[in-house]
């Protein structure tokens, strides 16, 4: 990598205000659950990933997003700007800022409904100039035709494309063909491939690199024919909201800065484990220094205890 090699990340995607209620358990269909106090946090997969890329990953980061002209937009803008993300902001007069209604159960799991609002107004030709951009990071909370157009334009400009295929939906072959790195959780991988068996599903996806996140167990990846495993970092999880987003942002930040794939996976697992130890979406994303500290601790063979003991020394055996 030379001094002129592009190192920045462009995230194009969603930004929401999350309305979060903690409850003993998430409601089943038809059930009403009495929760506890309401809290609001800036969220949305795109914005969470952009903030993770900048704050936890330490990469120069820009984001294309759309917000309404309402009071819900302000905390989202402030969170991103304070996190060091440069914004390409489309203001949408006729739609509300995107909102998400989140129930966080006492075991740390969550259930979410999103009202996309202004996010649905993004178009293929909204993508800004790609000068200095090494990676484009996309999700599926934006209109699918816009996502496909962004991927195509980035590929044509020599920019690598990462897609977090969440929320799960069928992907047109024309989009999959533009993807260098696909990131999914277990449910999304099963939905994408129609295969319940993890190994078979991982082998079936046609992208050159695929990562499947496995919650507390870390992640499994396939890169150019090799299979890699990164164990999770043991933490006391209180809220797993944005764990996957933190993983995606930090993984792509590390790749944009020239780290190898195995190192990038390890950094992503460390950062996303830390994100599980705090409530909220963007509020839970750790700093670069906190990620470094956990990675350093994990590499220290003399480390003897505490609540953040990494499992088993963070190595990635090929499997
Ligand atoms: P998603 O949030 O998209 O469903 P996962 O649940 O697989 O994705 O979590 C993403 C990543 O966050 C995992 O690969 C792991 O590194 C980390 N993670 C999630 N839950 C935990 C946990 N309980 N303890 C430690 N790390 C976790």
Q: Kindly list the domain boundaries of the chain, sorted by start residue.
A: 45-91+120-318
- State what percent of residues in the chain have pLDDT above 90: 83
> pLDDT tens-digit profile of 210-268?
999 999 999 999 998 899 999 999 999 988 889 999 999 999 999 999 999 999 999 99
Q: What is the 211 CA–ligand 1 centroid distance (Å)?
A: 12
pLDDT value, residue 136: 98
pLDDT value, residue 110: 79
305 vs 200, residue with greater confidence: 200
Whether the CB-CB separation of 14 and 46 falls below 8 Å is answered with: yes
Q: Residue 44, preceding bond cis, omega within 30 degrees?
A: no
Whether the CB-CB separation of 82 and 76 falls below 8 Å is answered with: no
Q: Residue 308: is its pLDDT beyond 80?
A: no
Mutate-to-test residue for ligand 1 from 52, 108, 163, 215, highest number of ligand atoms within 8 A of CB: 215
Count of alpha carbons within 13 angstroms of residue 268, beta-carbon side:
36
Whether the CB-CB separation of 17 and 97 falls below 8 Å is answered with: yes
Q: Report, as an integer, the average pLDDT of 183-197.
A: 95
Q: Residue 2: is its pLDDT beyond 80?
A: no
**β-pairing, 133-138 with 160-164?**
parallel
Q: What is the 252 CA–ligand 1 centroid distance (Å)?
A: 16
> pLDDT tens-digit profile of 114-169?
999 999 999 999 999 999 999 999 999 999 999 999 999 999 999 999 999 999 99
pLDDT value, residue 4: 66
Q: What is the 1 CA–ligand 1 centroid distance (Å)?
A: 31
Q: Residue 318: is its pLDDT beyond 60?
A: no
**Of 41, 85, 37, 79, which Cα lies nearest the Cα of 61?**
85
pLDDT value, residue 279: 84
- Pocket-forming residues, ligand 1, beta carbon under 6 Å: 185, 213-216, 218-219, 232-233, 235, 237, 240, 243-244, 247, 269, 272-273, 276
* Residue owning the nearest CA to atom 3 of ligand 1: 244
Q: Does the predicted TM-score (pTM) go above 0.75?
A: yes
Q: Alpha helix locations (H) across the chain? A: 45-51, 73-82, 144-156, 173-176, 186-193, 198-204, 243-256, 261-275, 288-299
Q: What is the 218 CA–ligand 1 centroid distance (Å)?
A: 7
Q: Return the active site residues.
A: 245
* Residue owning the nearest CA to atom 26 of ligand 1: 273
Q: Residues near 233 by Cβ (< 8 Å), separated by ≥ 6?
A: 218, 269, 270, 273, 274, 294, 298, 308, 310, 311, 314
45-91+120-318: which CATH topology? 3.40.1190
């Amino acid at each position: 990598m030379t001094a002129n090699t592009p190192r920045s990340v462009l995230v194009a995607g969603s930004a929401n205000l999350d309305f979060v209620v903690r409850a003993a358990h998430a409601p089943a269909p038809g059930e009403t659950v009495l929760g506890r106090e309401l809290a609001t946090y800036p969220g949305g997969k795109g914005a969470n990933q952009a903030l993770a890329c900048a704050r936890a990953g330490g990469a120069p980061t820009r984001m294309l997003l759309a917000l309404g002209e309402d009071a819900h937009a302000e905390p989202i803008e402030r969170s991103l700007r304070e996190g060091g993300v440069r914004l390409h902001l489309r203001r949408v007069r006729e739609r509300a800022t995107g909102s998400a209604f989140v129930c966080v159960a006492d075991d740390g799991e969550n259930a979410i409904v999103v009202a996309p609002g202004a996010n649905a107004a993004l178009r293929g030709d909204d993508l800004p100039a790609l000068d200095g951009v090494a990676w484009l990071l996309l999700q599926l909370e934006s209109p699918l035709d816009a996502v496909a157009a962004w991927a195509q334009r980035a590929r044509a400009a020599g920019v690598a494309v990462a897609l977090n295929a969440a929320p799960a939906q069928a992907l047109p072959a024309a989009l999959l063909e533009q993807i260098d790195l696909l990131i999914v959780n277990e449910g999304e991988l099963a939905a994408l491939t129609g295969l319940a068996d993890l190994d078979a599903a991982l082998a079936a996806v046609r992208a050159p690199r695929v990562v499947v996140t496995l919650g507390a167990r870390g992640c499994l990846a396939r890169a150019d024919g090799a299979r890699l495993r990164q164990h999770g970092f043991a933490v006391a999880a209180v809220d797993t909201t944005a764990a996957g987003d933190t993983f995606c942002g930090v993984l792509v930040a590390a790749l944009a800065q020239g780290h190898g794939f195995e190192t990038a996976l390890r950094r992503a697992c460390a950062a996303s484990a830390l994100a599980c130890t705090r409530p909220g979406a963007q509020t839970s994303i750790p700093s670069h220094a906190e990620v470094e500290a956990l990675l350093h601790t994990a590499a220290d063979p003399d480390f003897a205890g505490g609540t953040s003991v990494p499992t088993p020394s963070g190595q990635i055996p090929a499997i």
